[in-house]
A and B are shown apart, each in its own frame.
Chain A
Amino acid sequence: MTFVARMAVREIKASWKRLLFFFLCVAIGVAAIVALRSVVQTVRGALQDQARALLAADVVVQTNRPWDDQTLTKVDERLAEARVAARTELIETTTMVRPADPAKGGVRMVELQGISPGFPLHGAVVLQDGVRFRHELLADRGALVRPELLVQLDLRVGDRLLIGDTSFTIRGVVASEPGRRVGAFSFGGRVLVDRAELLGTGLLSLGSRARYAIMLRVPDDSMEQLVRTLRRDFPQQYVSVRSYRGTEDQIGEELQRAENYLSLVGFVVLVLGGIGVWSVTRVFVHQKVRSIAVMKCVGASSAQVLAVYVTQVAALSMAGSLLGVALARLALLAIPSRWLDGLGGVTPSLTTSAVLQGVGVGLLVSLLFALVPLLETRRVKPLLLLRDQVTAAPPSPAERRRLRERVVGRLRGTDWTKVATAFGVGLALALVAGWQAGSLRVGLLVSVGFLAVALVLGLAATGLVRAVRPLRRVRVFPVRHAAISVQRPGGQTRVILIAVGLGAFLILGVKALERNLLNEFSIEARANGPDLFLIDVQPDQAEPLARFLEGAGLQSPARLLPVLRARVTGVKGRDVSLESFDDVRSRGSLAREYVVTFRDRLEPNETIVDGQFWTAAPATDVEVSIERSIRDRFRIAIGDRIRFDILGRVIEARVTSVREVEWADTRAGGFMFVFRPGALDQAPRTYIAIARGPGDAAERARLQRAAVDRFPNVSIIDAREIAKTVEEVLGNVTMAVSVVGAVAVFSGALILIGSVAMTKFERLHEAAVFKTLGAGTRTIAATMALEYGTLGLLAGAIGGLASVALSWVVASRVLDIRWDPSALYVAAGVVITALTVTVVGVVASVDVLRRKPLSVLRAE
């Protein structure tokens, strides 16, 4: 065995108990990284799969005209470039269907979808009664219909359906289908047929309205490029391209938010793990400094010393990392499976990249923080090492001159090695952290924040050291020695402040974001949101419809809202006119047609932010309440007059209040302009009924059929599918966010505890000496408690404040959600941090407190 190996074995044999503790801390840091990254990747994958299923493809290219050769050629070219893995085409159009049997009456509007073999590229068509979906079912004029249609037209599987003039046979009933993100709003349920046969019905001729779609499965790395290229190729609006990662709709937005959050947490845990490993390595190396000095005294060269101790560190961190991987495996098993049920029953397992990242960080961080101080020892005189002065005293001018003359080359060389090593290892670390990070933006933001906070904490350490100087003279023993301890050279104060402060910063930041995110989701996923909208209800039908709906078994009472169309033509006497075509299309213009309403009460999702919503005094003129964004964007104030054109009548209304509308809450809709009742009572209007329909599909279908019979001009939008989808997605995302957040906080806390516990080694000697001098356990414990408590409180406070800033920045700039500072939680977090640090610090040192002083001193 070589000398290096022999030394390693000897050292391990001698202090294996202490090594175990070190190695456990490394293991925890690595375990946290591996476990969390694995969970994040699994969850992310599951959410992406869902997004894909909702689109039934990775990318959809669609148009509202039949494909012409030129367009198709171009598209095909691009698809070839992008190495498209699979492709299927689809045509969708609305049509009227009726039973083929002339004895049965009834005509229904349906959304006819002609699919090709290969559909769906993601997700699955699920049929009722255990029938397995296959494209062959559609052969020979087969059709698959939704259960509502059977009810509405009184049909059964096997009956024939007239689509256009062609007769199709109903071969099955669709329970659920993918691709709900596009074309989800229609006035009729879906009917699936074969695409070629759809074309064969002759329904698609000149003037027909249809959606022609090419659905694609594309490798992830070429997808974004393909979408961008296609959009560039077809700037006209009749060809549109969307990918499953698009954020054009609500689902896409939520998934993107989840993605960003997961990215953030994944990165945070890397940093926390790194902090844990750093503190372990630091203490480990610090303890070896003596031995290093002695070895140099007896003839060891720097290279040999380096070899001996770097090997030990590497072995320690490698072994710790492997244990960490094993621990992570166990931790994943411990996650209750029902938590992740919604995500397609996926069980998180260790992913290769997570393992590599965890081990990589463990190794690299320990190497970095071992190599740098070890390299430092090359230049330092052994005697200084022995005296615990790790940094050399600054040389006198004469000394400096002589040193410069003679050894400048050699010294310079040493410096560069250290710098190069630090840089090289640091770069490797950054690469590991960046791998699979997901969002570069998030990573950058957190890194910047992290460095800034570390800087502040470092300064705070210096500040604290200065601040407690006067306390050295206080008579109370614990206070005085706590102060002295804080000032102790060797940087323990700095270490605790930085480790705990950063830990608090990251953990509290993650927690705050999680809370804000879940808040946002819960508003949107409100379980009693409406999913049935009846539009174009005429004024004389309002009452009868209301009564009809009352008896219809709705899950919550329906609401009827009067809606009018009104165009804004002037403000405060200023005329507004639109000059160019583009003005009409851009949303910036105030002078457009709005849907307005009138009522005498505020809705639950509205709050008044300025003015008063209809005072008790009778109206003297027409009053209107505007939405906050109108006020902010066009700088309209209370008292201003807005001119509306309502079907040729010009009405001038005075702004008397400003409302803030919670758009995510759809129970009551939302309007930019709300008028005071009275002025518009005679104006032509219609009503929209908002309701949550019965859960049972058959009952729902019956309701719709009855409504159509009684109120034929009223169209019904059944948003159940999309509402269900949104709820499902939000539910999953909520789950993902919560699970990930919980694991992150738990592991972060463990890591911090380890780091703080690590610091006990540096005070062993001192505590032992104090005991010999007569200090009782209680006194020493009090001293430690004071010291740790102060450090914990300070670190927690700084970290807590910084976490507020972090959560604000991420919430507003990256996640685009409402931000609530939740001061109470932050304060609680700070207090908990201080308490935890104190308890851990004291408890970790309890063996010191209980052992006989000599045994401690001797073991030194």
Chain B
Amino acid sequence: MIKLAGVSKTVMSGGQPLTILHPTDLDVARGRSVAIVGPSGSGKSTLLGLIAGLDAPTTGTIAIDGVEITTLGEDALAKLRGQKIGFVFQFFHLIGSLTAFENVLVPMELAGVREAEDRARQLLAEVGLSGRGHHYPSQLSGGEQQRVAVARALANDPPLLLADEPTGNLDSRNGQHVVDLLFEINRTRGTTLALVTHDRELAARAEMRIELRDGRVVARRGPGPLDGPHAGVAAEPIVR
């Protein structure tokens, strides 16, 4: 599902090049769940952003579901994202001028899905926000906003779900809800899940774990090969 080869990210900061992520390999099979952990500043959010095509790598190639995304233009990437990738941000990033319901509708409308309203209502119900659809993000609590974000991420039923510190801004109870939701989706639908967190307990729930420190992978754990050169795909069939 996710295949990274030699991917790194360097930016210019104050006139000096700063390497946020050193060349990294990654191979995640369909249906797996992987947690990317590390202290803050370790480059884990950057890695996730690269996987989502929201950012461009300085070196290396990235393939999502067999599609090489580093060569794609913005429009193609956007299309890909709409269909294949659901992203949940740490800071929610809902569109403030749309209601919760409308926020969930947007990806479907962009993809030209008919009868999207029903599905949106269903999704909101799944995340436990049935009655709150007509509220604006400013009228929702942090936890509620994140749940809307999850619903939005699931709108087009993407095979890959990415979550960047999904519980970072939530209390433990809400955070628990959201995380439960994410893993349930992974389990029941076979959606590949990659999530970034600094919470080791949360990370433990994932099948695979990658630990980053100062932009380098320092540990890998989990079934099946996670790194490129030894890549032997543990092909567990996806249940869809």
Contact = CB atoms under 8 A, between A and B. Distances in A.
A–B direct touch in complex (beta carbons closer than 8 A): yes
Interface of A: 3, 6, 10-11, 14-15, 290-291, 293-304, 378-379, 381-384, 386, 393-394, 396, 398-399, 406-407, 410, 858-860
A381 B83 contact: no
Contacts of A290: 93, 96
Contacts, number: 98
B55 interface: yes
Given A297-B81, A396-B58, A398-B58, A3 B138 contact: no
27 contacts: A10-B97, A14-B97, A14-B98, A14-B136, A293-B93, A294-B95, A295-B106, A295-B110, A296-B74, A296-B81, A297-B81, A298-B82, A298-B87, A298-B106, A298-B110, A298-B155, A299-B107, A301-B78, A302-B75, A302-B78, A303-B75, A381-B55, A383-B49, A384-B55, A393-B12, A394-B12, A407-B73
A181 to B, nearest CB: 64
A290 B97 CA distance: 11
Contact of B56 (A6, A381, A394): A381
**Central interface residue in B12, B58, B82, B95, by most chain A CB within 10 Å:** B95
A6 B79 contact: no
A383 B46 CA distance: 10
A9 to B, nearest CB: 10
The 7 closest A-B pairs by CB, nearest first: A299-B82, A14-B97, A298-B107, A383-B54, A301-B75, A858-B138, A11-B97
Interface in B113-132: none
A298 B153 CA distance: 8
A297 B74 contact: no
B140 to A, nearest CB: 10
A596 B74 CA distance: 85
Contact of B59 (A14, A301, A398): A398
B79 A10 contact: no
Residue of A383, A396, A398, A407 contacting most chain B CB atoms (<10 Å): A383
Contact of A3 (B17, B52, B110, B155): B110
Contacts of B59: 398-399
Contacts of A300: 78, 82, 106, 110
Given A303-B75, A398-B59, A407-B73, A294 B93 contact: yes
Contacts of B74: 296, 302, 378-379, 381
Interface range on chain B (Cβ under 8 Å from partner) = 35 or more
Nearest to A406: B71
Given A379-B74, A393-B11, A859-B138, A399 B93 contact: no
A396 B10 contact: yes
A14 B96 contact: yes
Contacts of B106: 295, 298, 300
Contacts of B192: none
A299 B81 contact: yes
Given A382-B54, A399-B58, A859-B138, A297 B93 contact: yes
Given A299-B110, A379-B74, 13 more contacts: A11-B97, A15-B97, A295-B95, A298-B82, A298-B106, A299-B156, A300-B78, A386-B93, A396-B10, A396-B12, A399-B56, A399-B59, A407-B73
Contacts of A296: 74, 78, 81
A293 B96 CA distance: 13
B157 interface: no
B233 interface: no
Contacts of B156: 299
Contacts of B81: 296-299
Interface in B66-104: 71, 73-75, 78-79, 81-83, 87, 89, 93-99, 102
Contacts of B75: 301-303, 378
A23 to B, nearest CB: 15
Nearest to A854: B138
A396 B52 CA distance: 21
Contacts of A297: 52, 54, 81, 87, 93
A299 B111 contact: yes
A298 B97 contact: no
A386 B55 CA distance: 11
A96 to B, nearest CB: 89
